[in-house]
Amino acid sequence: MSARADPLSDTQKDPGPEPTRPSPADAGDGTEAWRMAGLWAGAQGAAAVALFFLAIDLGTGRPMWTPSALGARLFQGQALDPSVGWVPVLALGYTLVHGAVFLAIGSIASQVVANMKPGRTPSTMVVAAVLFLAIEATFVGFALLLHPDLFAQMGAGPVALANMVAAIVMAMSLQRGS
């Protein structure tokens, strides 16, 4: 009687479970890397928005006016007179709050991307679109809560454009980390 060939020869054997990448939900390898990726993405997003408005402020001859104006709204509950130059303590305070918000959004986004199944990570543009919606919703929520006339002062277009740039920068950063 002849021996039958093994239906699963060495080259055909089941490779086992699909490999997974470490994620923030894991207690082990990769957790710190994903946390850092989220913080880095958030820092890049905050910097993108800050640089965007710095360019606008420089173009209008009022450097650092936007963070000063937003700081006045946030901490003093009032509009900053456009004739006033930048106010360092207001600009710094607002910049710290702005940075913290972006670090939080980046951290949450990093955890979401890291917890996706391998091969199921969405495209950079999908991540950017979701981030844009999250960033816009956060800004609109704070603006409506604190000062509904903030849109009239800043203009919804520049805010949306700055947030879109931030979302794209953050998505690209997170996709490099995935």
> Above 80 in pLDDT, residue 68?
yes
Q: Are 113 and 50 in contact (CB under 8 A)?
A: no
Q: How far is CA 57 from CA 15, 53, 68, 172, in A?
A: 58, 6, 11, 26
pLDDT for res 19: 46
Q: Looking up tokens 């928005």, which residue turns up?
A: 49
Taking the model in full, what pTM does it have?
0.79
> Above 70 in pLDDT, residue 28?
no
pLDDT for res 142: 86
Q: In whole angstroms, what is the distance from residue 160 CA to residue 135 CA?
A: 9
Round the average pLDDT of the chain to a whole number and report it.
84
Q: Are 40 and 112 in contact (CB under 8 A)?
A: no
pLDDT for res 88: 96
Q: In whole angstroms, what is the distance from residue 85 CA to residue 113 CA?
A: 41
Answer left, alpha or beta for residue 25, where phi above 0 means left and psi between -120 and 50 means alpha: alpha
Q: Are 168 and 55 in contact (CB under 8 A)?
A: no
Helices within 12-123 (DSSP H only): 31-59, 65-71, 88-114
Helices within 115-155 (DSSP H only): 124-146, 150-154
At 26, the pLDDT band (50, 70, 90 cuts) reads very low
> Above 60 in pLDDT, residue 17?
no
In terms of C-beta density within 10 A (0-12 exposed, 13-18 middle, 19 or more buried), how is residue 66 classed?
Answer: buried
